[in-house]
Amino acid sequence: MNEPPRQPSEEEMREALKQLRVEDVLLQTVVTLVNLSGRRLTAEGEKNVEQAKLGIDAVRALLPFCPEEESGPIRDALSQLQMIYVQETQARGEAPPEQPASEQPKDEAERAKARSKIWTPPGT
């Protein structure tokens, strides 16, 4: 017979918490937000662009605090989510929300720099 999983003791829980780092929790939170936002953009019966936008914004806010070596794949996933979000809002006839003035480039050099960072699909 299969026995139910054993619950960790209080001492085992304390020991596990000693090993836990804020960076680990932060990274797991960001990955969870990426996954959840992806589902809110793509899963039939679960689509909710407002929730996806909130998740995308949260990932953008938390990403600078993630370990640098882990941020590359998250940035890639975030870029894909942002593109899917724009496609979804355009398909619904909605305009994507404007960037806050604080995030808009201030001069042409900044605009050119920002454009060079924009990912585009191969062959376009």
* Grouped pLDDT means (10 residues each) for the chain, 124 residues: 86 93 93 96 94 96 90 93 93 64 57 56 54
pLDDT for 99 equals 55
pLDDT of residue 91: 80
Residue 119 has what pLDDT? 53
* Predicted TM-score of the model (pTM): 0.67
Number of C-beta neighbours around residue 79 at 10 A: 13
Cβ(70)–Cβ(84) under 8 Å? no
Q: Give the pLDDT of residue 98.
A: 57
The predicted structure's pLDDT at residue 20? 92
Query: 78 in helix, strand or coil?
Result: helix
* Per-residue pLDDT, 92: 77
